[in-house]
Amino acid sequence: MLINLIKSKMELLESRKIIRMIGIYFNFLTNFFKKGRFDTIMLFSVFHHTKDLIVNGKKIAQACNRIIIECRLGERGGRPDLENGKWSSTSVWRYETKKDLYNGLENYSPSFEFYENYGLVDKSRYIIELRKKP
């Protein structure tokens, strides 16, 4: 019983550490575009976890020349509350076709256009490249 209690407390502490790290990551993702310019920004199954896709898409578009994004036709994002550890919904999208997804990504990142879909990877996610319009 004592071992289970210790194990439970350790798991709780570990989960809180993970939640804090995730929270720091989302804060970083939301704020780091102020730091400068990049050739390429890569977003691997993470963009939909930000609160405001349009605002963040504009920040990304201003910070680079190329975007590589891993995502699905349908995404439902969430992020943890650093105080209580509960997850809240952030952004959701659902596109019927790949073409609709490309158009949606272009709308989130003004001045960018679809360049190439490199195909499916795990969990029905596509690797998609967008490039700044000439």
Give the C-alpha separation, 85 to 83, whole Å: 6
For each of the domains in the chain, give its residue range(s) and CATH number, in order of start: 2-132 (3.40.50)
pTM for this prediction: 0.72
32: CB partners within 8 A, 6+ apart: none
Sheet of 112-120: strand order equals 38-44, 64-71, 126-132, 112-120
Neighbours of 86 (CB within 10 A): 9
pLDDT in tens, the chain (134 residues): 333 333 444 444 454 444 444 444 455 555 555 566 778 888 887 787 788 888 888 888 888 899 999 999 999 888 777 677 778 888 889 999 999 999 999 999 989 999 999 999 988 999 999 999 98
**41 sits in which H/E element:** strand 38-44
